[in-house]
Amino acid sequence: MARKVNEQEYAIKRAEILDVTWRLLYSKGYEQITIKDIIDELKISKGAFYHYFDSKQDLLEGLLERLRTQGEQIFAQVMREPETPTISRLQRFFDTVGRWKVAQKANMISLLRGWHADENAVVRMRVTASMIQHVAPLLGQLITQGVAEGELTTPFPNTAGEIALTMLVGMGDAFAKMLLEPDPAINALQAADTMVAAYNDALERVLGAQPGSLHLIDPETIREWFEAGGDL
């Protein structure tokens, strides 16, 4: 007779394995993580691990699934108020992503170092591809609505959603590199302001939005990040 699985306990233990993997990803890098590392960290048997994940690749898929769910949940908050103007909802999406990162500011700088290590190149590519595949269509729906309402003028709303998300990721990578400079230039904050302004301008042009109507990250948040980096 097959053993009955307690779904709640199964989900909790699976989440614990993913949590440990996520921490190890930042401290060691995906390429260096072994299943033994995870087993030792959790003090579980190899059989227990394979009850939840078939392989290291399956583990990566679990992390990607978690990130996809988080991204879709963030976007779902924006889509709940169809009566709100599209520009406001787009800005809320960017602000929500930014607020989540600022809330993690205390340890995010050190995490960024691990995330951008060469050992995590494969994971970064997979995360970006997954986000574009699953979140960009939702963004495209919102942009399509904005075009219908006359707030946006792009003739390619679905593609514009993919481009906008790619720009968000690209700006995040460029911003992270500035923060991680061992000896940042005296005018690093000004350079970051200029870079973000350029991305904002490009975003508005892609979407056909009014100049100054959207920003991927606001100036106050930029300053907060550089202050956090200076405290390390």
Instruction: Give CATH for domain 7-52.
Output: 1.10.10.60
Every domain range in the chain assigned CATH 1.10.10.60:
7-52
- Mean pLDDT value across the chain: 83
79 contacts: CB under 8 Å, gap ≥ 6: 89, 138, 141, 142
Q: Is the dihedral of CA 59, 65, 133, 171 positive or negative?
A: negative
Could you report the per-residue pLDDT of 10-20, keeping only the tens digit for each?
A: 999 999 999 99
Every domain range in the chain assigned CATH 1.10.357:
56-230
Q: How confident is the model at residue 183 (pLDDT cuts 50, 70, 90)?
A: low
Quickly tell me which residue has 């809320």 as its tokens.
Answer: 92
Higher model confidence: residue 151 or residue 134? Answer: 151
pTM over 0.75: no
Answer left, alpha or beta for residue 220, where phi above 0 means left and psi between -120 and 50 means alpha.
alpha
Percent of residues, the chain, with pLDDT higher than 70: 88
> Does residue 1 have a pLDDT over 50?
no
Mean pLDDT of the 183-208 span? 86
Mean pLDDT of the 192-196 span? 90
Cα–Cα dist 23/18, whole Å: 9
Q: Return the number of other C-beta atoms located less than 10 Å from residue 30's C-beta.
A: 22
Could you report the per-residue pLDDT of 86-117, keeping only the tens digit for each?
A: 999 999 888 887 766 655 555 566 667 777 77
Reply yes or no on domain 56-230 having CATH 1.10.10.
no
